[in-house]
Amino acid sequence: MPEDASATGEPAELAERVRLALESGDLDAIRDLLDPSARWGAPEGPHEADCQNRDQVVAWWPALEPPVHVRWSRR
């Protein structure tokens, strides 16, 4: 986990950062929340086409059709 997203901080604070980044599609904020060695791929992977680090994950994100913006409901 990146230093600025430390697990020692308040969980609600971190959850809010994640929610805001995903809802807005802010790639810089998403990148800041990912570990430098983050991996992303299909559940049946691993495959050569899988993302091997956070820069690859962030580069892949806008290629989604339609762009992914997450909507969260608060209960």
Q: Which of 64, 48, 11, 23 is nearest to 39 (CA)?
A: 48
Please tell me the predicted confidence (pLDDT) of residue 48: 84
For 24-68, write each residue's pLDDT tens digit.
888 899 999 999 999 988 888 788 889 999 999 999 877 765 555
pLDDT beyond 80 at 6: no
Query: Which is it for the CA torsion 34, 38, 44, 47, positive or negative?
Result: positive
Contacts 24+ apart (CB under 8 A), 70-75: 70/19, 70/22, 70/23, 71/23, 72/19, 72/22, 72/23
Please tell me the predicted confidence (pLDDT) of residue 43: 81
Report if pTM > 0.75. no
Angle 53-45-21 from CA coordinates, rounded to 5°: 45
